[in-house]
């Protein structure tokens, strides 16, 4: 299992970046479309039977979607002494000798005193709540109680590759096809025929019809164990229930997540306006692609001028500020319209930006935009630009990378194999104006003033954010594996070396790791800044660069340590979530906080300067997120077979993004020279 999670666990705690743009041409478009030879250019003719399972579902799994959920292993609570040991190991690399000695003293006192009591309490609570994990509740509370705006602080984006097939790249066509594929995914999930998310350690042996037949007939209470026996590892899917018809509602002190499972409509935004229309019939069937095409086309071509003041900007605000404004919106008679907006399956945004091949403009458009034409509280939004670039921006409180990436991957495959319409398709001959409703909101003078103020704050916050890019180059996975070194370890080593070359120090660094192999697992933190990476950084900054063999030895030590840390995190044996849970118990007790948590070193290690994340998926074209602290770096990266790349976000003058990219170029060149030295 540890080996499985080393490969699968590094996920979108935030997101990934891929700056190359490989064509996604396909030789055949599969079911649902027929290639017509009556014209010189390809023409697609819809052949869907809209009542058929082939149209209604993205696929029909033989294994019920939640079949493994009941029997998933529970997230373990690490031994207290191991957590203390791991915590000190990570602290040692960022503290002075004097600071470390003080922290070591506090940790020892904690381990031998109040920490043991808190550990006992945590285990008691865990035993009484076997339906979940010890971290699930506190982690939801952390997201929903934070009062900072979700945009820039939590919501990341993932961009799809450009649509390069003829007849499919028009914004209306692309949005319609993506909407239909998304609805297939949603219906498959609702009807429990979406394939369970399973990591196959040896796909040739376990990702087979026989495996599915065996586990299908295995009782759900033990089905995960049947999968484990075949080296297949089901992942937690509890978050999937908040993916559709779901939204985050602002409340004073703590937000709530609300779902509307019976809702049948879709939300599309354009020019700050909100449009809704049904996409399912009364029996829950997806309406025809021609019907959906007609509604999407009507919205896209609607000539209503941009909203002078859109309530969308409220979702960019401080959460308490937004909660007060929402209450005022309700008092002004807008409750019904807000409910319709909140209940929609998800959100699609038509954005007027033209991105071309500009990664910086892409980054800013998909991460935040102008705030007037987004609804950041929705579980997720698909944003389509005027030149048909498409990305997903999602609210992080409800879920992590496993759910989002499963959706992203499945609809990408569906779109590649069976798009529903093309440029020769015609919308259904219906009066879409009677099917689409534009939501209207009554604004009081104080709400208008609040909107204006929110725009000023948003402009100040987003204009301060900068993005820089390391274009695809250097080495990739193949060369790393040839040298028996972890690709992710070397990617992280390059980031550590870049920061050290630029600033001459080692700082707290975060890499997200999924714990979805466990029931209600969320994420754990890998701490890539280690004594081993620090030794490498010091070596390459010497006046005389060490020999390639000496550097290779240091790189091997870094790779080994990074692998161990990743395995620990994936198996629920990191220290961050455990200490977080113990701290929440200490806070709830009303007693003075233990010294370990008031120690400046605890605040320091949790002030993440280098926040990083990746997803090992070729389906993603580009992605990013903002730094988690003002003087930090937000690094979304990928490493493919033959190259690596990343995007880095900063808030100048606190950080120098171009300088970091320049130092990373030097660092990766040094690593590549070592890897290519025979």
Q: Taking each helix axis as running N to C, give the angle between helix 80-92 and helix 97-112, from 0 to 180 degrees, rounded to the nearest 10.
A: 170
Q: Assign 18 a pLDDT band (cuts: 50, 70, 90).
A: very low
Q: Assign 617 a pLDDT band (cuts: 50, 70, 90).
A: confident
Residue 24 has pLDDT above 50, yes or no: no
For the chain, how are helix, strand and coil distributed in percent, rounded to 5? 45, 15, 40
- The pLDDT of 122-147, averaged and rounded, is 97
Residue 28 has pLDDT above 80, yes or no: no
CB atoms inside a 10 Å sphere around CB 301: 10
Q: What rounded mean pLDDT belongs to the chain?
A: 92
State pLDDT tens for residues 496-553.
999 999 999 999 999 999 999 999 999 999 999 999 999 999 999 999 999 999 999 9
Q: Who contacts 361 (Cβ-Cβ below 8 Å, separation ≥6)?
A: 353, 355
Show the DSSP H helices in 544-599 as ranges.
Answer: 548-570, 576-589, 595-598
Cα–Cα distance, 151 to 316 (Å, whole number): 6
State pLDDT tens for residues 625-659.
999 999 999 999 999 999 999 999 999 999 999 99
Q: Catalytic positions, please?
A: 396
Point out which residues pair with 278 in neighbouring strands.
Answer: 265
Q: Taking each helix axis as running N to C, give the angle between helix 576-589 and helix 114-127, from 0 to 180 degrees, rounded to the nearest 10.
A: 100
For every residue of 199-253, which 3-state class applies, written as one string?
Answer: EECCHHHHCCHHHHHHHHCCCCCCHHHHHHHCCEEECCCHHHHHCCCEEEECCCC
DSSP code, position 311: G
- Beta-strand relationship, 347-350 and 265-270: parallel
Q: Who contacts 338 (Cβ-Cβ below 8 Å, separation ≥6)?
A: 326, 329, 330
Q: Assign 51 a pLDDT band (cuts: 50, 70, 90).
A: confident
Residue 618 confidence (pLDDT): 86
Lowest mean pLDDT among 42-56, 200-214, 432-446, 582-596: 42-56
How many H helices and E strands in the chain? 24, 22
Residue 23 has pLDDT above 70, yes or no: no
């Amino acid at each position: 299992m540890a080996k499985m999670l080393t490969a699968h666990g590094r996920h979108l705690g935030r997101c990934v970046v891929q700056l190359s743009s490989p064509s996604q041409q396909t030789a055949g478009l599969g079911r649902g479309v027929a290639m017509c030879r009556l014209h010189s250019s390809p023409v697609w003719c819809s052949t869907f039977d809209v009542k058929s399972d082939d149209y209604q579902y993205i696929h029909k799994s033989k294994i019920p979607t939640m079949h493994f959920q009941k029997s998933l292993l529970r997230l373990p609570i690490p031994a207290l002494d191991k957590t203390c040991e791991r915590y000190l190991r990570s602290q040692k690399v960022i503290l002075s000798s004097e600071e470390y000695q003080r922290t070591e003293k506090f940790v020892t006192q904690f381990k031998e005193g109040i920490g043991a009591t808190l550990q006992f309490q945590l285990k008691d609570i865990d035993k009484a709540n076997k339906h979940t994990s010890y971290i699930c509740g506190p982690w939801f509370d952390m997201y929903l109680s934070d009062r900072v705006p979700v945009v820039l602080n939590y919501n990341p984006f993932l961009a799809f590759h450009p649509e390069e097939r003829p007849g499919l790249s028009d914004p209306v066509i692309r949005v319609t096809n993506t909407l239909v594929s998304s609805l297939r995914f949603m219906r498959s999930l609702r009807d429990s025929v979406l394939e369970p998310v399973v990591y196959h350690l040896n796909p040739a042996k376990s990702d087979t019809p026989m495996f599915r037949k065996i586990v299908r007939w295995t009782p759900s209470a033990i089905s995960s164990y049947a999968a484990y026996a075949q080296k297949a590892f089901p992942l937690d899917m509890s978050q999937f229930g908040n993916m559709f018809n779901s939204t985050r509602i602002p409340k004073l002190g703590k937000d709530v997540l609300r779902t509307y499972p019976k809702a049948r409509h879709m939300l599309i935004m354009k020019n700050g306006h909100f449009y809704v229309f049904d996409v399912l019939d009364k029996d829950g069937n997806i309406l025809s692609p021609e019907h959906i095409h007609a509604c999407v086309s009507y919205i896209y071509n609607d000539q209503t001028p941009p909203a002078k003041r859109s309530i969308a900007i409220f979702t960019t605000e401080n959460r308490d500020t937004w909660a007060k404004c929402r209450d005022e919106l309700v008092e002004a008679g807008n409750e019904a319209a807000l409910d319709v907006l909140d209940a929609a399956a998800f959100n699609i945004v038509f954005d007027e930006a033209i991105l071309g091949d500009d990664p910086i403009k892409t980054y800013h458009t998909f991460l935040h935009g102008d705030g007037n034409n987004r609804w950041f509280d929705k579980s997720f939004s698909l944003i389509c630009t005027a030149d048909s670039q498409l990305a997903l921006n999602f609210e992080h409180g409800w879920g992590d990378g496993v759910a989002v990436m499963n959706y992203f991957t499945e609809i990408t495959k569906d779109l590649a194999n069976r798009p529903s319409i093309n440029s020769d398709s015609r919308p259904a001959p219906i009066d879409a104006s009677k099917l689409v409703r534009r939501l209207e909101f009554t604004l009081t003078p104080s709400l208008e003033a609040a909107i204006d103020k929110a725009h000023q704050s948003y402009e100040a916050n987003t204009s301060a954010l900068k993005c820089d890019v390391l274009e695809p180059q250097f080495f990739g996975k193949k060369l790393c594996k040839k040298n028996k070194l972890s690709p992710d370890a070397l990617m992280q080593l390059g980031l550590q070396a870049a920061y050290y070359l630029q600033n001459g120090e080692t700082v707290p660094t975060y890499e997200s790791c999924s714990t979805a192999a466990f029931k209600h697992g969320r994420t754990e933190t890998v701490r890539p800044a280690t004594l081993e990476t620090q030794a490498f950084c010091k070596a390459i900054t010497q006046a005389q660069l060490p020999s390639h063999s000496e550097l290779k030895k240091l790189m091997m030590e870094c790779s080994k340590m990074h692998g161990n840390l990743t395995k620990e995190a994936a198996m629920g044996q990191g220290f961050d979530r455990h200490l977080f849970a113990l701290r929440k118990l200490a806070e709830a007790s009303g007693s003075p906080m233990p010294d370990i948590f008031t120690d400046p070193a605890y605040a320091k290690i949790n002030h993440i300067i280098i926040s990083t994340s990746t997803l090992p998926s070729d389906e993603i074209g580009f992605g990013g997120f903002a730094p988690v602290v003002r003087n930090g770096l937000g690094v979304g990266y990928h490493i493919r077979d033959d190259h690596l790349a990343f995007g880095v976000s900063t808030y100048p003058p606190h950080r120098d993004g171009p300088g970091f990219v320049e130092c990373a170029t030097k660092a990766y060149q040094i690593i590549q020279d070592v890897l290519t030295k025979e």
